Structure 1
């Protein structure tokens, strides 16, 4: 978890700076809803709900934080917010704001945290974004559109979290991402992005979480993902990637979650993948992969979720899966498996809470009964980031 906090150095009895008071008053007047705890008849705006000040001057306090998430605020953003030139944290997330974000809001030089997620902002990202202090940038789940070209990465050396998910961004992903040298969490999911696996991302050596799911990416998965040695989560599901999965997972020594479901991958399971000692969640459902399901439970000691359903895997159901001691979800359905369900699978019910999603067909039989054999629908984990 990455946490960003603005230090609170309040002096409640002092008036806030006249420029900041004017900016907040104009901001409030632009809204179509009031803000509980704001009193425009006083000059002590540092006492208003969600406002954080410091004592940077001897006569008045400067506003450094504005945290108004989940306040049911509606309306548009006035340009007056850009006059809060000492602002370090701006959180307007999960409200009912709409319209275009004033371009100069993306030029606050002291801003470390910008969170506008879950509103209805529109338009493209403006050119000339200059946020040299930014660490956390979240504009997810709005209606932004246009291309994704974070040229501001060059002037934002401290950026650790960039969340552009759930918008209408389209086109190919710019190589400019390679300049976000400190980036640890990147969310581009739920857009309309296309092209091959973004080459610029392969330069992000500190990247821990990468979500590209629910886009229109295509082509092979670049062997260069092995360069992302700090990856913990990689989700590329619901795209059009194709070809074989690269056999490079031995170099992803921190990877716990890998989902590539609903693509066009084929070929056998890579040896490095089925021997990964760190993977906890592996989802390969709905591809055209084939060959045996040769999961090595002796190596995959942390594996808890395995979904390889709706592929072309062949051969018998591997008895070795019964030794995956942490396994809690297993989906082998809709493949070309044959033979009997291994007798040792009965131990899974006794030793661990297992749900086996299984659709019987004429060439698979079982000589034992278990309440474990039941229908199970699982939508997959959703990574949450708490800022």
Structure 2
């Protein structure tokens, strides 16, 4: 028995020595890796990175969090501000770069004095203060969102556009029941659509444009009671669902993604609320839905840089509030209805780079229009007409070795008047069976939409 215990003791010492040796050798190799592959990090930077890796943890959803300890000497006005302190200190630890030092004074228990943090009386208890808003817009801050931000249960505004935040949106955001505006635009978030936003009952303004989100968008987004949806400049790829028309938004911008399929006809159901819709530069390949003409309150409609085909429907002439209309760079054809160019508020109509063959004179009187690169007769800068087709070559003469065939029979002489000649039928109109030409290919970034004033212009892309 004593012999077994002594063996067990020596074996334990060996195991401990082995792991200490492996750990020390891996640490030295890590330092070599950092020094060789990251531009020669200093020893202090290597120690900081290793320390940061030990500080964070994963919650039950796999989202990252920070281990925050509260100094017992700190005094807080109320428990909610103590929770806000924990959330903001965790976030400060999750920030790797703050070039403007916006979070520099995030120290101590007076969180309402923190820069870019705004407090107000709690809705359910006006006698206490709580954190109601955070605005770090245009801070160029690098980091991620820790799951402790879910402790800010009274947060109504969360604005962090034009920074370098990455990762995903923590699922603990589901606790932000009062969140009204969520602006994550112009950052480096990635992954699937952050479905946690669908569970925010007070949310009205959603802006996640200029990120790297990808995949499909849940159709439940369009059943949610939102006022504005900005999801442009991401990597979403899917067909727009038929319930798009259920959305009560006033502005929806879906531009510069990888949509495909048809523009849903249910878009016409949004006539009571919709003011602006931007669908440019996606993969829509369908006819222009006539139901869009029901949008009597729409002021901006941009469907440029798609693959829309067929004519513009006459119903578009019923959009009496329309000010900006852009269908450039599609495969539309036919004649433009005069009712469109007669709309009372239309300031700019851009339909260049299509295959229109008719343009009513009233269009030339618009304050702004662009009809270049179509098939319009007597208009400048149009597409070149196709070259005339050559007649088929004549068959080569036949050389007979035997005597030539007899001449045709002499004409028949009628004793009665000859029968009336058969009238020539007009040839049937030509049938153009070839498909319309493909959309032109454009190299480099897409040009900006000139003359369109969006309600919320996109932030400058910091890449």
CA contact (8 A) 1:147 1:173 kept: no
Note the aligned Cα RMSD (angstroms): 2.4
Match of 1:83 among 141, 151, 155: 151
Aligned length in residues: 314
Q: Per the alignment, do residues 61 and 82 of structure 1 end up closer, same or farther by CA in structure 2, a change over 3 Å counting?
A: same
- Structure 1 counterpart SS, 2:206: strand
Distance 1:292 1:283, change over 3 A: closer
1:171 equivalent in alignment to 2:241? no
Q: Which moved more, 1:48-57 or 1:280-289?
A: 48-57
Give the match for residue 181 of structure 2: 113
CA displacement, residues 279-322 of structure 1 (integer Å, 9 cap, x when unaligned): 1010000001102442256xx6xx321100000011x45xxxxx
- Is the CA contact 1:131–1:152 (under 8 Å) kept in the aligned structure 2? no
Change (3 A) 1:270 1:336: farther
Match of 1:350 in 2: none
1:148-227 matches, cutoff 5 A: 148-154=217-223, 156-157=224-225, 159-181=226-248, 183-205=249-271, 206-227=273-294
> Which residue does 2:139 correspond to in 1?
71
Pick closer, same or farther for the CA change 1:136–1:336 going to 2, 3 Å: same
C-alpha distance in structure 1 between counterparts of 2:207 and 2:253, whole Å: 9
Shift of 1:133: 1.3
Give the Cα–Cα distance (whole angstroms) in 2 for the partners of residues 62 and 119 of structure 1. Answer: 27
Contact persistence 2:102–2:116 (CA under 8 A): no
Structure 1 gaps, min length 5: 1-12, 318-331, 338-376
TM normalised by structure 1 equals: 0.75
Task: Within 5 Å, give how 1:1-40 maps onto structure 2.
Answer: 17-34=81-98, 35-40=101-106
Summarize deviations over 1:185-214 as a string: whole Å, max 9, x none: 000000000111123432212111000000
The range that moved more, 265-274 or 209-218, is 265-274
User: Hey, what does 1:133 align to over in structure 2?
Assistant: 202
Alignment-derived partner of residue 381 in structure 1: 451
Q: How much has 1:271 moved relative to structure 2?
A: 2.2
Q: Distance in 2 between matches of 1:118 and 1:292?
A: 40
Is residue 359–residue 376 contact of structure 2 (8 Å, CA) maintained in 1?
Answer: yes
- 1-structure distance, mates of 2:308, 2:317: 21
Answering whether residue 109 of structure 2 is matched by residue 43 of structure 1, we say yes
Q: Does 1:61 align with 2:129?
A: yes
Q: Secondary structure at the match of 1:295?
A: helix
Q: 1:124 to 1:383 in 2, by over 3 A?
A: farther
Distance 1:58 1:106 in 2: 23
Task: Indicate the residue corresponding to 1:143 in structure 2.
Answer: 212
SS in 1 for 2:210: coil
Spell out structure 1 runs of 4+ moving beyond 6 A.
none
Q: 1:88-141, CA deviations, whole angstroms, 9 ceiling, x for partnerless residues?
A: 000010001111111332562211110010001001114462122112110000
Question: In the superposition, relative to structure 1, how do residues 102 and 279 fare at CA in structure 2: closer, same or farther (>3 Å)?
Answer: same
3-state secondary structure, aligned to 1:17: helix
Q: Which has the higher contact order (CA 8 A, sep 6+)?
A: 1
Alpha-carbon distance, 1:248 to partner: 1.3
1:25, distance to aligned residue in structure 2 (A): 1.0
SS of the aligned residue for 1:210 comes to strand
Q: 1:219 to 1:160 in 2, by over 3 A?
A: same
Question: Is the CA contact 1:249–1:276 (under 8 Å) kept in the aligned structure 2?
Answer: no
Unmatched segments (≥5 aa) in structure 2: 1-75, 386-446, 458-463
How has the CA–CA distance of structure 1 residues 294 and 104 changed in structure 2, closer, same or farther, with 3 Å as cutoff? farther
Checking the alignment, whether the CA contact within 8 Å between 2:106 and 2:114 is kept in structure 1 is no
Pick which of 210-219 and 145-154 moved more.
Answer: 145-154
- Aligned to 2:293, the other structure's residue is in SS state helix
Which residue number corresponds to residue 373 of structure 1?
A: none
Deviations 1:347-368 (A, max 9, x none): xxxxxxxxxxxxxxxxxxxxxx
CA distance in 2, matches of 1:145, 1:283: 30
